[in-house]
Every structure is written in C-alpha cells, then in structure tokens.
C-alpha cells in the first residue's frame, strides 16, 4: 500500500484549518506540526503538498490558505456536478420527505447539510426543486467561516432560497428534521463514528442520509487516476485519494448507527450497480425513525432493490 493511502492518517484539510469548537474562533496552525504528523506516517506526498502552502512566522498564512481552500472546494463542486450528485441526493431525499408526510407531519421540513463546504448540494436543490410545493427549508452548516461566506455569496448571486450558517449542525436551535452530508462521515474514526451518529437523536429529527465513497479494492486506484486528471492542486489530489482509502464499509456504518441510534432503523442504500456485484462509487447510510420504514420502502418503488437490510 502507498504510504499516502494509509487510512489511519488524517487528510491534509483536517489539519491545516482549526476552529475552537465552542467559540468558533479560528485557531492558528503551526506548519511544522502538520508536517510532523505526516512525517510519522512517512507520507512524503502530503509533506510536499503542505510545504507548498504559504506561512508567516511559522504559522500557515490564513488569508492565503483560505484562497487555497476555496480553490479546492470549487474543484470538488466541479466533480459533484460531473457525477450529478445533486440528482443523487434528491432522488433519495424526496422519498424520505414523502414518507414523513405520510406519517402526518404537516409543518415545514428542515433539511440540514452537515459540513456543507461551499454548499453545492443545498444550492443545487434550491435552484432545481420547488421548495414551496414540498414545504421544505434548506440550510447548510460548517465550522469553517470562509466556506460558509462563499456559500452565502454564491447563493446570493444566484438568488437562491437557502441559507448557510457557521456552527455545529447538532447544536440547540439548528436541529433538522433530516440531516444529510456528502464526504463527511469517513472523517469520524473509531469511537468518534458512533458519537457523531448519536447526535442525530433529537426530538425533531426523523431521518438522515450520509453519502460517501464506497470502499473496495480498486477505489483508491480509480480515485488517484480521476483526481490526477481533474484536480489542479496537490492538496485536492492527495485528499481525494485518501478519502477513498479512508471510507467506511457498509457493515461499519450500519453497526455504528445501530449501536448509537436504537430508535432508528439503519441500512445502506445504493451499494451495487443495478443487481450486479459491481459496486457504485458512492453508497448512502440511511437512517429512519422506525414508524417510517414501511412507507419508505413503498415510496422507493422499483428502486427498493437498491436498499439493503434496514433494521
């Protein structure tokens, strides 16, 4: 295994930006600390990428770093567009919404995108879905103020009915009926995974959909080739491949969800291409309040075959 594919290590973007989880204030990051982390993993690819990042008096230059992060997230949005990820999310989300409506919920359904970045998924839905018809409200949340500011700038420029907030998506006042995320859940490792999932247990919350890479033997190879051809920054190329290597398999996600959320039925959706053994690039951890399960299966219709065991 290449050292840069070792799933035990963090991604570069996990380390180069830090916020105080309580105050949300930006915390300075010492460049050498980041280099030392990857040195312990003998990951020279990551070290070369970090060495290229500008610094000031030993700390990563925050303004230059923000510009770099925005470039990375713009590249990630381009990939999401090419993979029709907005369509993928809405295809499953509308089934969840219909199931919640059939259960008698008449109020506006609040959908929260956790770790939204520059908000592509929320902005795509705001631009393409008649929100009044479905009586839904769209919000994206992220700890990174730079990404949130960019998400709000883009939503304003496109005159979209959605909003983006800096903060903890599970904190008081921000809970949603449905939580969703893309490429976030693999960042939670070991006991951190059930701890993250356990925070979905809130009175309003009816469901969650977490989309992420699906691990299999050739996933890192495919990710390496794709990111090498499509990404322009060393950070994006490195983290894109490591994300595929760090992704949790379906069993790990199911077991963590069932341990943390006994009041929810959990399972994996979309693991295989049609009815073949071939894996999809993405799979989805689905969680539903138990009274919604049968209606959810019914609403899936012919796509029901894509749903694994939900319990």
Mean pLDDT of 36-64: 96
The C-alpha angle with vertex 60 and arms to 146 and 23, in degrees rounded to 5, equals 50
**Which among 176, 196, 168 has a CA at the least distance from the CA of 253?**
196
Q: Rounded to whole angstroms, how far apart are CA atoms 16 and 31?
A: 8
54-104 pLDDT per residue, tens: 999 999 999 999 998 999 899 889 888 988 999 999 999 999 999 999 999
Please name every residue paired with 283 in a beta bridge, in sequence order, or none if there are none.
Answer: 212
Kindly state the percentage of the chain with pLDDT values over 70: 98
8 to each of 246, 247, 297, how far by Cα in Å? 8, 11, 36
79 within a domain of the structure (yes/no) = no
241 within a domain of the structure (yes/no) = no
The answer on 116 and 260 residing in a single domain is yes
At a CB cut-off of 8 Å and minimum separation 6, what does 172 contact? none
The answer on 155 and 62 residing in a single domain is no
231 within a domain of the structure (yes/no) = no
pLDDT of residue 220: 73
78 within a domain of the structure (yes/no) = no
Mark which of 71, 106, 125 sits at the end of a domain. 71
Residue ranges making up the domain that contains 105? 84-214+249-306
Q: Rounded to whole angstroms, how far apart are CA atoms 53 and 69?
A: 11
153 within a domain of the structure (yes/no) = yes
Kindly state the percentage of the chain with pLDDT values over 90: 77
The answer on 257 and 148 residing in a single domain is yes
The answer on 60 and 14 residing in a single domain is yes
Q: Rounded to whole angstroms, how far apart are CA atoms 209 and 52?
A: 36
Q: Rounded to whole angstroms, how far apart are CA atoms 227 and 7?
A: 17
pLDDT of residue 1: 53
179-230 pLDDT per residue, tens: 999 999 999 999 999 999 999 999 999 999 999 999 877 777 777 776 676 7
Mean pLDDT of 254-266: 98
The answer on 281 and 148 residing in a single domain is yes
pLDDT of residue 142: 96
Structural domain total, the chain: 2
Contact 215, 247 (CB under 8 A): yes
Mark which of 28, 50, 71 sits at the end of a domain. 71
The answer on 267 and 184 residing in a single domain is yes
pLDDT of residue 28: 95
Mean pLDDT (the chain) is: 93
Mean pLDDT of 12-40: 93
pLDDT of residue 303: 94
The secondary structure of 221-275 as a DSSP string is HHHHHHHHHH--SHHHHHHHHHHHHHPPPHHHHHHHHHHH-TTEEEEEE--BSTT
The answer on 125 and 48 residing in a single domain is no
Q: Rounded to whole angstroms, how far apart are CA atoms 97 and 176?
A: 13
Here the CATH number for the domain that contains residue 185 is: 3.40.50.150
Tally of residues, the chain: 311
The answer on 142 and 18 residing in a single domain is no
In angstroms, what is the C-alpha Rg of the chain?
A: 19
Please name every residue paired with 212 in a beta bridge, in sequence order, or none if there are none.
Answer: 283
Mark which of 71, 97, 126 sits at the end of a domain. 71
Please name every residue paired with 178 in a beta bridge, in sequence order, or none if there are none.
Answer: 111, 207
The answer on 116 and 50 residing in a single domain is no
Query: Which pLDDT band holds residue 162 (cuts at 50, 70, 90)?
Result: very high
119-139 pLDDT per residue, tens: 999 999 999 999 999 999 999
Query: Which pLDDT band holds residue 273 (cuts at 50, 70, 90)?
Result: confident
pLDDT of residue 24: 87
The secondary structure of the chain as a DSSP string is --GGG-TTSPPHHHHS-EE-TTT--EE--BHHHHHHHHHHTT-HHHHHHHHTS-EETTEE-HHHHHHHHHHHHHHHHHHHHHTTHHHHHHHHHHHHHHHHHHTT--SPEEEEEET-TT-HHHHHHHHHS-HHHHTEEEEEEES-HHHHHHHHHHHHHTT-S-EEEES-TTSTT---SEEEEES-GGG--TTHHHHHHHTT--TT--EEEEEEEPP-TTHHHHHHHHHHHH--SHHHHHHHHHHHHHPPPHHHHHHHHHHH-TTEEEEEE--BSTTSSPBPSEEEEEEEEGGGHHHHHHHHGGGGGGB----
The answer on 37 and 100 residing in a single domain is no
The answer on 16 and 114 residing in a single domain is no
The answer on 115 and 46 residing in a single domain is no
């Amino acid at each position: 295994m290449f050292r840069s594919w070792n799933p035990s290590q963090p991604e570069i973007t996990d380390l180069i930006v830090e916020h105080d989880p309580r105050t949300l204030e930006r915390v300075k990051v010492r460049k050498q600390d980041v280099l030392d982390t990857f040195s312990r993993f003998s990951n020279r690819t990551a070290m070369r990428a970090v060495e290229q990042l500008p610094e000031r008096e030993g700390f990563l230059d925050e303004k230059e770093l923000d510009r770099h992060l925005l470039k990375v997230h713009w590249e990630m949005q381009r990939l999401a567009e090419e993979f029709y990820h907005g369509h993928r999310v809405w295809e499953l989300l509308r089934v969840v919404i219909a199931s919640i409506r059939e259960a008698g919920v008449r109020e506006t359904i609040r959908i929260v995108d956790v770790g939204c970045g520059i908000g592509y998924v929320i902005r795509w839905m705001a631009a393409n879905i008649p929100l009044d018809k479905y009586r839904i409200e769209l919000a994206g949340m992220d700890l990174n103020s730079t990404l949130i500011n960019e998400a709000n700038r883009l939503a304003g420029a496109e005159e979209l009915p959605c909003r983006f907030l800096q903060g903890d998506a599970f904190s008081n006042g921000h809970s949603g009926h449905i939580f969703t995320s893309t490429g976030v859940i693999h960042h939670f490792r070991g006991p951190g995974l059930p701890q993250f999932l356990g925070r979905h247990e809130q009175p309003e919350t009816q469901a969650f959909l977490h989309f992420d890479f699906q691990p299999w033997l050739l996933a890192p190879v495919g990710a390496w080739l794709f990111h090498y051809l499509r990404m322009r920054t060393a950070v994006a190329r490195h983290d894109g491949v490591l994300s595929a290597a760090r992704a949790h398999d379906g069993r790990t996600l199911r077991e963590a969800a069932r341990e943390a959320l006994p009041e929810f039925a959990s399972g994996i959706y979309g693991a295989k291409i049609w009815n073949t053994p071939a894996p999809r690039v993405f799979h989805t951890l689905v969680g539903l309040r138990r009274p919604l399960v049968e209606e959810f299966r019914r609403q899936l219709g012919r796509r029901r075959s894509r749903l694994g065991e939900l319990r």
